Amino acid sequence: MKKSVFYHAGCPVCVSAEHDIIELIGKSNVEVVHLGEDKGRISEAENAGIKSVPALVTPTGNVLHINFGASLADVKG
Residues at the interface with its own copies (CB under 8 A)? 4, 16-17, 20-21, 23-25, 29, 58-60, 62-68
Closest CA to 53 of 23, 40, 26, 42: 42
Type and span of the H or E element at 6: strand 4-8
* Cα Rg of the chain (Å, integer): 11
Nearer to its own copies, 39 or 67 (CB): 67
CB of 75 to its own copies, least distance (A): 18
Nearer to its own copies, 43 or 67 (CB): 67
Nearer to its own copies, 17 or 35 (CB): 17
